[in-house]
Chain A
Amino acid sequence: MKPAARDREGQGFAHPSCIPRLRRRRPEATRLLRPMAAAGSAKVALRVAEVLETIVSCCVGPEGRQVLCTKPTGEVLISRDGGCLLEALHLEHPIARMLVACVSSHLRKTGDGAKTFIIFLCHLLRGLHAVTDKEQDSLISKNIQTHRRHWKNCCQWKFISQALLKFQTQVLDYIMGHYLSKHFLSIFSSSTKERTLCRSSLELLLEAYFCGRVGRNNQKFISQLMCDYFFKCMACESGCEEVFELVDDYFIELNVGVTGLPVSDSRIIAGLVLHRDFSVYCPADGDIRIVIVTETIQPPFSTSGSEFILNSEAQFRTSQFWIMERTKAIMKHLQSQNVKLLLSSVKQPDLVIYYAGLNGISVVECLSSEEVSLIQRVVGLSPFVLPHTSSRYETCNTALMNFCKPLILRSKRYVHLGLIGTCSFIPHCIVLCAPVQGLVEQHKSALHGAFKMLRQLFKDLDLNYMIQASDQNYASSPLTYKNSRESMPLPEIVNGSMQSPYQGTVVENKGKLATTQTYLKVYSNFVVPSVELETHIPRSIPKVTPTDTYQTDETLRYLSLARIVDDSEPFMESNSANSTTENTRIEISCENLQVTEIAGRGSMLAVREKSLEMCTSRGYCFSSIPAGCVLPVGGNFEFLLHYYLLNYAKKCRQSEETMVSVIIANALLGIPQILYKSKKGNCSFPQIYVRTLHAIQTHQPMVSSQTGLESVASKYQLLTSVLQCLTKILTIDLVINIKRQPQEVYDQDSEEEV
């Protein structure tokens, strides 16, 4: 590659050390110099991505299969984790390596979605390729001069990458915030400020997660295990974030892998298991206290930096005697404090062990620093500082414990501590069993990933889109709404195809006007206890009343309120003669009606939360994806985004924007395509596609053949990561191969001054 580049350029690229500079240049400059390779990189990237896609797509979704990775050390790993597979491949191709780097940086952020990343990217590249091919053909007919054609081609890539960037920063967030957000469900099952986590929706979420991570026959079991673990560890609802954080940080310390047993023997045990045996064990009951030390209890002859001068044998003997007496005294003191267990991060001398045994104190040595800090965090205990004066001992820092006993798993002994947690984490351990170590590792990393994912899910994700672009539309929405109360109920904000469904429902509801109320009541009793319903009514009143009064207020809050009324428009309209209170009543019931319809299909709780969450969430999360937002699995997110992007593209003025939106919208379908690949008949992809789009259009709940939920935030982050990666690929025009030792790169520093 290198000599060829030099020939073509003739610009003195003789020294390869100019590569860093070359890369740092602005893309336009490089592209002008080197038009030939521009199209190449996208093409090459497509080829690379397609190869990776074939490997990765066999592991996607609930039907995905396993991949066996061997390591040079002889270890055998079983994996379905995309990131792990890509790492194991040790790809050589530079574009492929860049791709892997992008994926792993995405994984570091979210811990999920490597496979989807590759598939989505591959479809995007394919889409781009198809589009540019077409345009090239048209260009050829017009333009004969090849150089100019390439130049044009380059501009095309540049425009595309800019359009992608613009899309990612502006359009995507807007669509997420404005259109998709009304479809979001929540994992919390409460409408009040106090969020409570709903167990069944968490189960659905985890099941869907593990479907992509562990072997088919263990998915249910592992997700159940994780769910149990989480609820056992959580002391109170409010502390769940702390639990996620703690488990994520100390995951290695919180599980024990056992090989040679069937997976179904995995279980959760209360307390903490340390991966080592007691140095000395004295059975103890009742009031057990522990103490942590980080240094040897037996004082050494000399400390570092000091000199100990021995002048006589008697001096030696007395100093040894002193050391012994002091050790004895400290251990006695610990015993008097009712300490029954000594945890040490260092190895203790025989003498200490002996005196500990005499005083009925069990000792565990050589704890890792992580174990020590975990115990410190769980029980809020700081290490015992050895007193420096021999006579006086203060009461030391101890913590109470339920039990402390050896635990034997597969003839290996562990220390089992019944710690009493002082924070919102109740210590529990997972014992993971599997026939081979590779499987234990897979389950471990899947569980760890699940905690990472949950940790992400419980954070709000901000969407920063510029409102002024869409301001016009939305500013007018209250006004149009006001109008609509008098005349037809359809505001202009709902564009194109959105219009017809609204009208449809309105007409329908008008017909049913008489029966609506009773009908709704029946259903609302069915799902939500009437008490709960009652409590919601007063809360909604203030929400509706301002709709009568506001005129031109453009704050976010009012916008959101407008949207709420918007949604229940058909019913409002039909009841416009009634009083406000009645209106609110119906508004709530209308939400509930929706609930029951979906509830019939089995995911009752998940959607029920929707109705409750929607009321509150819209008020404040206008420009963010609130914590705990989920969507049903089976490509729901992709279908929704596809639909809204196409709609958006239709009314776009700029051609690039339209093109990019369409390409992305179509590429999104690649994921459900793979998910439904093996399905036949009624569940085949085209069928699902048509049905889902119809459902979105007519505002019916979407059909989904699979149960399970997935996090919206992680999907959104995945999308942005892929788009960033794609822009990166498109901006590279030439890959230069250097056959030299990597240390030459140090020239970079001097390069700065040039």
Chain B
Amino acid sequence: MSRLEAKKPSFCKSEPLTSERVRATLCVLKGILTSSYGPSGRLKQLHNGLGGCVCTTSQSSALLANLSVTHPILKILTTSMQNHVSCFSDCGLFTAILCCNLIENDQRIGLMPTTVIKLNKHLLSLCTSYLQSEFCGCRILVDFSSTQTLLCLVRSIVTSKPACMLTRQEIDHISALILRAFLLTIPENTKDCLLLGKSIIVPLKGQRVTDSTVLPGILLEISEVQLMKILPIKKSDTFKVALFCASLSGDLSDTGEGTVVVSSGVSLENAVLDQLLNLGGQLVSDHIDLVICQKVVHPSLKQFLSMHRIIAIDRVGAALMEPLSKVTGTQPIGSLGSISPSSYGSVKDLCTEKFGFKHFLHLIPNEATICSLLLCNRNDTAWDELKLTCQTALHVLQLTIKEPSVLLGGGCTETHLAAYIRHKICNEPESILQDDGCTQTELQLLTEAFCSALESVAGSLEHDGGEILTDMKYGHFWSAQPESPSVVDWPDLLSRCGCGLYTSQEELRWSFLKSTRHPFAPQTCLPHEAVGSANNLTLDCFTAKLSGLQVAVETANLILDLSYIIEDKN
């Protein structure tokens, strides 16, 4: 009772966005995010004074998860981005930077929030319908007959994570591995619905990156002592496997709510052990070669099994149970009594292997969609970053299977989209003006704010002080070396646009991204041959980017709509 404490009244602030402090903190956050963006982004070292390891990263997921923000508005922003990242893995920084830019720009023009929100929503729907349309000039349909596009996509993702510390050669190796791992998870013959398998990432730190490899099936790590016990495996066509989810440690199962009275002289332990050994006998008579248990196996049973040349692996954990049951094609056994023969599984081959200093038991399936990606990197932080990158890439590939298109990367989508929106609003503003009741000026101001927010996301890719330009035909993104003379022959200075689709040798006109220019219609309908011939394109995941764009605008709208903050400080 004495713990009862009166609640303190909350703090209530009006018009939170106008406060100088909020603007300053937003600006700092934006600075952190923009400087980490892209392949040449700067790394951040996150260092928690209360413990934990130091994390060197430039990825949004690691960055946002470790940053601790206190202001409610920033909290909204960062949780929104984190939620996006946990859904799509990719495009987190893009979303966060775009959101910050939008808030900043819309604040600067100082229109009524009502109008801003309404118009932002309209502009967003213009963007999404353009990106999804047939004639979109920055979307490529994925051709699944070759791995070219998918490999480009994976390589773009790996390249954009500088904290992995990979060389060009290593990037190529890792990208190929990721793609192979993904392809191994696709089932050979499917009926109506495609159910993808799983790639298990197995850590192997301290090795060279090029030692990484992909193996079908599952790698179970075993200690050297265990390895000694495993006798040379006899050759056979298939190996019978029993997979247990019930504990084989001989502990008594739940005895119910009442009391159990044991007379003296009765040893339940012996009774249970007898039961276990009976089970062992059954396994032997059923010609099992491998026993895997999620929990602990009693040493006596282990001994018994090894005497009968059965390999017993215990404590594999709950996470591996599902892939294991897929690889062996069986249901985990939950009974210590009679086991129906139908619940045994099998693998095609079984062998012990050594990678680096670790020993593994390799289960090779007959036909399964599980593979193991053995991932190596020099040190812990770089390995963590590489693991995140691989997960991102694998997830992006899954998303691409679902929605088979990709967007041009390297900032080209952003500048192209901005050019398209500018042109569209300039030429046909009626559709928006009609149903919203806002003025032409308001619309133009807001379009400018929206487009420049998009463009400055692209601009954030350049960190070395180079010039950023856009061409007046395709609306793509170009960046030039820093400190070039002001009036130059652009075609000589520029080589390729951000995504690598066009070269400067075409007859193009350029303009600085920051400068004002006449709205022009960027060329829509990507020519098919151009895409086919170009290799080494920089590509982005379509689903993630589209959703990122929507989430960024929605979050910005939400933050702009806030009129009060009530902070409960209890």
Give A residues with C-beta under 8 Å from B.
55, 58-59, 63, 65-72, 74, 76, 78, 85, 88-92, 215-217, 259-265, 280, 300-313, 316-317, 320-321, 324, 349-355, 357-358, 410-411, 434-439, 678, 741-743
Contacts and interface: CB of A to CB of B under 8 A. Distances in A.
Given A260-B84, A262-B551, A262-B554, A301 B260 contact: yes
A66 B15 CA distance: 10
A217 B331 contact: no
Nearest to A354: B334
B487 interface: no
A260 B80 CA distance: 6
B551 A261 contact: yes
Given A216-B561, A262-B547, A355-B335, A435 B271 contact: no
Contacts of B567: 69-70
Contacts of B2: 741
Given A308-B261, A350-B334, A316 B10 contact: no
B336 to A, nearest CB: 8
Given A67-B565, A215-B557, A260-B86, A72 B117 contact: no
Interface string B333-361: 11101101011000000000000000000
A259 B88 CA distance: 11
A349 B254 contact: yes
A71 B568 contact: yes
Contact of B262 (A63, A76, A92, A310): A310
B331 A76 contact: no
A67 B566 contact: yes
Interface stretch (B71-79, B421-429, B469-477): B71-79
Contacts of B331: 280, 354, 357-358
Contacts of B169: none
A324 B335 contact: yes
A259 B263 contact: no
A65 to B, nearest CB: 4
Contacts of A411: 86-87
B131 to A, nearest CB: 13
Interface in B37-87: 72-73, 75-76, 79-80, 82-87
Given A261-B551, A354-B333, A89 B12 contact: yes
Given A312-B266, A316-B268, A354-B333, A90 B570 contact: yes
B562 interface: yes
A300 B566 contact: no
Which 10 A/B pairs are nearest by Cβ-Cβ distance?
A300-B256, A302-B258, A354-B334, A260-B83, A350-B334, A304-B257, A262-B550, A260-B87, A65-B563, A435-B80
Contacts of A305: 257-258
B268 A313 contact: yes
Nearest to B16: A68
B266 A437 contact: no
A438 B271 CA distance: 56
Contacts of B255: 300-302, 308
B403 interface: no
A607 B128 CA distance: 38
A317 B271 contact: yes
B145 interface: no
B158 to A, nearest CB: 22
A616 B551 CA distance: 50
B335 A72 contact: no
A328 to B, nearest CB: 9
Interface string B375-411: 0000000000000000000000000000000000000
B8 A58 contact: no
Interface in B206-223: none
A65 B561 CA distance: 5
A88 B10 contact: yes
B87 A261 contact: yes
Contacts of A743: 1
B291 to A, nearest CB: 16
Nearest to B75: A76
A307 B261 contact: yes
A86 to B, nearest CB: 10
Contacts of A306: 258-259
Given A68-B16, A76-B72, A89-B566, A741 B80 contact: no
B562 A410 contact: no
Interface residues of B, number: 77
A435 B333 contact: no
B274 interface: yes
Given A55-B564, A85-B564, 14 more contacts: A68-B562, A69-B567, A76-B76, A90-B568, A217-B120, A264-B550, A301-B254, A310-B263, A317-B271, A320-B337, A351-B335, A354-B334, A436-B83, A678-B112
Contacts of A280: 331
A74 B78 CA distance: 13
Nearest to A440: B83
A358 B343 contact: yes
Contacts of A436: 76, 79-80, 83, 555, 558
Nearest to A353: B334
A302 B266 contact: no
A267 B187 CA distance: 30
B186 interface: no
A302 B259 contact: yes
Given A300-B255, A304-B258, A354 B80 contact: no
A184 B278 CA distance: 81
Contacts of B117: 215-217
A70 B71 CA distance: 10
B10 A439 contact: no
Given A304-B258, A307-B259, A354-B335, A316 B266 contact: yes
Contacts of A67: 562-566
B121 interface: yes
A676 to B, nearest CB: 14
B438 to A, nearest CB: 13
B554 A69 contact: no
A313 B565 contact: no
B75 A259 contact: no
B516 interface: no
Contacts of A217: 117-118, 120-121, 554, 557
B234 interface: no
Nearest to B87: A260
Contacts of A307: 258-261
A264 B343 CA distance: 45
7 contacts: A69-B10, A85-B566, A310-B262, A312-B263, A324-B335, A435-B555, A678-B112
B72 A70 contact: yes
Contacts of A71: 568
Contacts of B12: 55, 89
B133 interface: no
B9 interface: yes
B7 interface: yes
B566 A68 contact: yes
B468 to A, nearest CB: 29
A88 B568 CA distance: 7
A70 B566 CA distance: 6
B484 interface: no
Contacts of A438: 76
A182 to B, nearest CB: 34
Contacts of B563: 58-59, 65-67
Interface string B113-130: 110011011000000000
B267 interface: yes
In the complex, which of the residues B8, B120, B268, B564 has the most CB atoms of chain A within 10 Å of its own CB atom? B564
A300 B334 contact: no
Interface in B445-489: none
Interface string B232-276: 000000000000011000000111111111110011101100110
A293 to B, nearest CB: 17
A90 B7 contact: yes
A546 to B, nearest CB: 51
Interface in B1-47: 1-2, 4, 7-10, 12, 14, 16
A741 B554 contact: no
